[in-house]
Structure 1
Amino acid sequence: MTRYCLTLDLKNDPELISQYEQYHKEVWPDIISSIKDSGITHMQIYRYDTRLFMIMEVTDDFSFEKKQQADNANAKVQEWEELMWKYQQALPGSAAGEKWKLMDKIFDLNEC
């Protein structure tokens, strides 16, 4: 099992943040299926102010490239992503349209 951590910012608007959180309390079933079908076995998203932090645990055959290809071919995922972009904003230094940024692990207590 592999774990990935990613980050993204929300737009600094309390009403938009509230709406974003509400959508994540009632994620569309097609989105849940898409996540699970890609090999993601566990996912959590945390928020501090406008900063989001996502933890994903994935199967050994998971790849970001395969997930992106599947997402691009899924109209419901594209609809969800377009809707979520209303609330999200790219981190500084992101490429055009780039959302979640993969974080580098810099410490692990179990490796000490």
Structure 2
Amino acid sequence: MSTKRHCFSCDLKDDSKLIAEYKKYHAAGNAWPEITKSIKDAGVIDMEIYLTGNRMFMIMEVDETFDSEKKAKMDANNPKVQEWESLMWDYQQELPWAKDGEKWIALEKIFKLDN
């Protein structure tokens, strides 16, 4: 099975209380099962989120069935995903260079260590 990596960034509101709450939602076993199921159903085989200050980085490993437009449609039609996204937006904020409505922004790969 061939996989592909996608990397994204998003900011949290710069408030230590909100950041702590956000981290609790994402601690092992705390993400809503409907959310993790929707992620896996879209072809995401692994996902990690890293945090420094209030800036987050998400790394997704996806299989050949993953299609970002299809996932966006699936998410838009899933009330539980919409509820989660609305809740998370209480903690998140767009990057300074984000377009209107843009939350997680894809990162540009600028270096890879040659093997």
TM-score by length of 1: 0.96
Determine the C-alpha separation between the residues in 2 that align with 1:108 and 1:63.
24
Secondary structure in 2 matching 1:109:
coil
Within-5 A mapping of 1:51-70: 51-70=55-74
**In structure 2, distance between residues paired with 1:85 and 1:110:** 38
One of 12, 15, 18 as aligned partner of 2:17: 15
Gaps of 5+ in 2: none
Identity of aligned residues (%): 51
Alignment of 1:1-112 (within 5 A): 1-25=3-27, 26-110=30-114
* 1:105 match: secondary structure: coil
TM-score normalised by length of structure 2: 0.94
* Residue-pair matches, total: 111
Structure 1 unaligned segments of length 5 or more: list them. none
Counterpart of 1:48 in structure 2: which amino acid? Answer: T
Instruction: Give every structure 1 segment of 4 or more consecutive aligned residues whose post-TM-superposition deviation is greater than 3 Å.
Output: none
State how far apart, in whole Å, the 2-side matches of 1:6 and 1:69 are. 19
